[in-house]
Amino acid sequence: MILKHLDKEPTIDASSFIAPNAVICGEVKIGKNVRIMFGAQIIAESSPISIGDNCIILENAVIRGTDNYQVTIGANCLIGPNTHLAGCTLEDNVFVATGASVFHGAILKTGSEVRINGVVHLKTVLPENTTVPISWIAVGDPVQILPPDKHEEIWAVQKPLNFPLSVYGIERPTPGKSNNMDEICNVMSERLKSHFSDEVIEQ
């Protein structure tokens, strides 16, 4: 399904294939010989998405351009099934494996790899030809790549990056309050209501 969002619509090269049940929404530019497979969701909300030539986006991948964070994917990138990319940059020849997540402001340099269920956190820079092993976490700039049981070391780098403020514009909860999900959901509801006016271009 191809959707116009906020009066902006996808630009798709004629040589590319979009599966019938994939969703391409908003200001999305898709280059030559791209393959966007079944169930993939490519959603440019507040920021555009650009996908370079010869990229493969496999089943059920979710790619989102979000508030202040556009997505840029270079040429010859393979995005595996069930991946999640939000507001990040992938240079050329990057591999993101099944179930991996890459968050807002992250940059994956040329030739880098994020293996199965790996995570690249907010504003992390992964150098050229660097690999994040299966289920490991890359965090910071300069990057540290740590196993998932090293939570304290990961949090020491991640906490100052302030994910809630960077992504939702909301400070962390004040002492005595367990979380601020009410505020976050209100912000997201306001942003996402823009989809009420989406217009189907092609189904």
Q: What is the pLDDT of residues 134-161, one digit of tens each?
A: 999 999 999 999 999 999 999 999 989 8
Of the candidates 98, 92, 89, 88, the residue with the CA atom closest to the CA atom of residue 60: 98
Q: Convert the pLDDT of each residue in 32-89 to its tens digit.
A: 999 999 999 999 988 999 999 999 999 999 999 988 899 999 999 999 999 999 999 9
Q: Given CATH 2.40.50.1070, say whether it is the number of domain 2-202.
A: no
Q: Rounded to whole angstroms, how far apart are CA atoms 169 and 46?
A: 14
Q: Convert the pLDDT of each residue in 98-121 to its tens digit.
A: 999 999 999 999 999 999 999 999
- 40, 44, 48, 50 alpha-carbon torsion, rounded to 10°: 10
The predicted model scores a pTM of 0.94
Q: What confidence score (pLDDT) does residue 177 get?
A: 74
**Domain range summary for the chain, segments of one domain joined by +:** 2-202
